[in-house]
């Protein structure tokens, strides 16, 4: 069975955290292309996100660092391997982590699980199988389910169809929560060109969101962290398209997208009569133009790095449609559960009430999160690799950019998905441990009295694994 070699992990660590990164990259080999996309495009460029702000303001860090590729052994492989390095022996991990888990900042009953990602061996656990509210760490499950159901190369389409004679066209939402004005303009270009080819210069415009069912609003109600969940939106329904993170959203994302699209058509010489109206594409309508999202691998990376709630709910519904379930919150929860069952993961007590983690009714265990990370590194499941390459890098990218001081043991070595709700703080990811051992961890805390103090306590736990 393939093993993670010490030189691979050492190279990855050097590339991630040290000033001599260039030499380490040369030794480690080529960057993972998905990782380069996630860290250089989404984190450095600070593209639009819909995620909760999981960190705190801090001075700008150095530019994000690449990571050397590693090959992980199957998560369901032999469990007999034991650490040669005493620092990661179970007894020593218990001695190091126990007092840190007892910090008052982590509330009354935090849970934890630490595994060796190369062997699947559990090295430490405290309440590891207890279901807890995961907050945004549930996005790890959402990502794995979508990749399992659809594959990393899947793209989400936004389509325009036309009736005979092209007197009426319909903008059909496919559930692409990454659709922005740039790609909508491309769709307008293609639509206008196709209409001219049919001799049409005036149309009525309908917008179709029938792919999704159920209520538009997330159960938390109107909230700056998420738009109404619609199959059609542009710029995630933000009132200010230039905004990032939490921001005010339109109550009618589909209607706003259709209005923007109508204006774009007018600018291209196509007159749109009347006001765009909701409806369904006519049965006899034929395709006119289309634009596609980035591959699902890149969308997953963006969602995890930025903790993007809009993308997360979109991916949960994409999973539902692929599975033949209703594309609503309940159907998405059933579909995600079914996909994780296919991966033979521990699901006892699990509940997926949404895809983003904003719903406090979500329940997962630390053991499930670490099993997801292990399965994502399994050579038998290369389609799941974006789950690992999308994790923020401590002190460098995404929701960990402003956490972990440069002097911290975990800076550049910890890669983890954050989770934050009032009174709930979580962290799950990977870390290069002593001797180059790659560890997976999950720490879940509820009843936390202070977000900042809880985050610091979680960061100390992950950094302790790197020492």
Mean pLDDT by 10 residues, the chain (467 residues): 33 31 27 36 39 46 35 34 58 92 97 93 96 98 98 98 94 98 98 96 97 93 93 95 88 97 98 96 94 98 97 98 97 98 96 98 98 96 97 96 91 96 98 88 98 97 93
CATH number of 6-152+298-466: 3.40.710.10
Task: Return the structure tokens found at 124.
Answer: 């430490």
157-293: CATH topology: 3.50.80
Residue appearing with tokens 């990661």 = 88
> At residue 295, what are phi and psi to the nearest 5 degrees?
-55, 150
Does 139 participate in catalysis according to the annotation? Answer: yes
The β-bridge relationship of strands 271-272 and 277-278 is unpaired
Q: Which of 37, 67, 136, 356 is catalytic?
A: 136
Q: What is the pTM (predicted TM-score) of this model?
A: 0.85
Closest CA to 416 of 322, 272, 304, 262: 304
Q: Residue 76: its pLDDT value, please?
A: 35
Q: How many CA atoms lie within 13 A of 206 on its CB side?
A: 18
- Residue 4 is predicted with a pLDDT of 34
Q: Are 278 and 207 in contact (CB under 8 A)?
A: yes
Question: Would you give the DSSP letter of residue 86?
Answer: G
Domains in the chain: boundaries: 6-152+298-466, 157-293
Nearest partner of 177 among 131, 142, 206, judged by Cα: 142
Catalytic one among 307, 356, 376, 411? 307
- Residue of 37, 67, 126, 139 marked active site: 139
Does 314 qualify as catalytic in the annotation?
A: no
- What pLDDT is stored for residue 54 in this prediction? 58
Q: Is 84 one of the annotated active-site residues of the chain?
A: no
């Amino acid at each position: 069975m393939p093993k993670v070699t010490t030189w691979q992990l050492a190279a990855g660590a050097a590339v991630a955290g040290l000033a001599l990164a260039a030499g380490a990259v040369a030794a480690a080999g080529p960057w993972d292309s998905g990782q380069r996309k996630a860290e250089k495009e989404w984190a450095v460029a600070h593209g639009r996100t819909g995620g909760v702000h999981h960190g705190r303001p801090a001075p700008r860090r150095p530019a994000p660092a690449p990571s050397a590729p590693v090959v992980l052994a199957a998560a369901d492989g032999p469990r007999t391997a034991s650490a040669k390095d005493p620092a990661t022996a179970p007894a020593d991990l218990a001695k190091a982590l126990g007092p840190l888990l007892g910090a008052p900042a982590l509330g009354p009953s935090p849970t934890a699980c630490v595994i060796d990602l190369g062997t699947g061996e559990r090295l430490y656990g405290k309440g590891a199988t207890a279901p807890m509210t995961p907050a945004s760490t549930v996005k790890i499950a959402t990502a794995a389910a979508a990749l399992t159901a659809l594959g990393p190369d899947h793209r989400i389409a936004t389509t325009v169809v036309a009736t005979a004679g092209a007197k009426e066209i319909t903008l059909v939402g496919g559930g692409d929560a990454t659709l922005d004005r740039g790609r909508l303009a491309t769709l307008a270009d293609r639509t206008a060109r196709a209409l001219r080819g049919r001799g049409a210069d005036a149309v009525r415009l309908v917008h179709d969101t029938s792919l999704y069912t159920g209520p538009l609003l997330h159960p938390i109600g109107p909230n700056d962290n998420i738009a109404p969940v619609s199959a059609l939106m542009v710029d995630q329904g933000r009132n200010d398209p230039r905004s990032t993170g939490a921001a005010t959203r339109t109550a009618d994302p589909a209607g706003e997208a259709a209005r923007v699209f109508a204006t774009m058509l007018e600018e291209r010489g196509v007159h749109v009569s009347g006001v765009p109206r909701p409806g369904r594409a006519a049965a006899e309508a034929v395709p006119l133009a289309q634009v596609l999202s980035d591959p699902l691998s890149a969308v997953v990376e963006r969602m995890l790095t930025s903790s993007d709630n809009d993308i997360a709910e979109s991916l949960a519904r994409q999973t539902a449609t692929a599975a033949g379930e209703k594309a609503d919150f309940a159907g998405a929860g059933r579909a995600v559960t079914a996909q994780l069952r296919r991966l033979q993961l521990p699901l006892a007590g699990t509940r997926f009430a949404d895809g983003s983690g904003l719903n406090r009714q979500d329940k997962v265990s630390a053991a499930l999160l670490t099993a997801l990370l292990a399965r994502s590194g399994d050579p038998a499941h290369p389609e799941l690799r974006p789950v690992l390459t999308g994790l923020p890098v401590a002190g460098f990218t995404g929701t960990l950019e402003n956490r972990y001081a440069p002097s911290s043991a975990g800076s550049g070595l910890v890669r983890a998905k954050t989770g934050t709700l009032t009174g709930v703080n979580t962290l799950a990811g990977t870390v290069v441990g002593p001797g180059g051992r790659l560890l997976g961890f999950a720490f879940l805390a509820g009843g936390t009295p202070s977000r900042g103090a809880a985050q610091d306590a979680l960061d100390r736990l992950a950094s302790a694994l790197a020492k």
